[in-house]
Structure 1
């Protein structure tokens, strides 16, 4: 017989929003960075160009946060990454959820300090 997994109680967490041009992935972790739950537009059944819409991002946030509420999360910080279209809607819908307070917000999109050499110009 399989062991019954005990859900730990977590008061504070961090919501990571990775908004790419093709999808929006929401990951909810505790303060140490251990993943509690996640959701994405693709995992909810959106396909093709509908995956990258703000509506799909909102649905993904609502799904991830409803799963996270089972862990007893009350306060969250938000870390946003990427240029996708679902980014603003995702942030707003985290704040709109009942019983969850947003403490802080940070943009962690990686920016190159003149990183890789660009490809050579196209000759047509």
Structure 2
């Protein structure tokens, strides 16, 4: 019987990308807050959410979980991408919008603009009828 040789796997170091200007998309629902960090072209660099941090169920929807997800992305944007400027696009009715924006405003990254891009109907479809008693 021949003995197998142990093969060491090569570990590649992550390249530090230099992305000085980026965009942050905050999608805040009643159940969770998802934060996506992209470059100016819209290519996703990283993302985080309440569930990604480790919270489950109703705890994902809290402002605290959104703040922790934002702090994780701030560390990543500074260390891995050397980000200097950032524009924020916020969408949705959830509790996590404000803490995320405040976290990024308090960080060394300069926030150039904050936009609310929540989709609104221009009249849209007819509402459901109210049930009779």
TM-score, normalising length: structure 1: 0.91
Show the counterpart of 1:65.
74
TM-score, normalising length: structure 2: 0.85
Show the counterpart of 1:76.
86
Aligned length: 123
> Once superposed, which parts of structure 1, at least 4 consecutive aligned residues long, lie more than 2 Å away?
1-8
**Aligned-residue offset at 1:120:** 2.3
SS of alignment partner, residue 52 of structure 2: coil
**Aligned-residue offset at 1:67:** 1.8
In structure 1, C-alpha distance between the alignment counterparts of 2:125 and 2:33, rounded to whole Å: 26
**Aligned-residue offset at 1:121:** 2.1
Gaps of 5+ in 1: none
In the TM superposition, what whole-angstrom CA distance separates every residue of 1:16-61 from its partner, at most 9, and x where no partner exists?
1111100000000001111101000011111111111111110010
Show the counterpart of 1:48.
57
Mark the structure with the bigger radius of gyration.
Answer: 2
Show the counterpart of 1:34.
43
* Aligned pair partner of 1:24 in 30, 33, 44: 33
Residue 102 (str. 1) matches residue 111 (str. 2) = yes
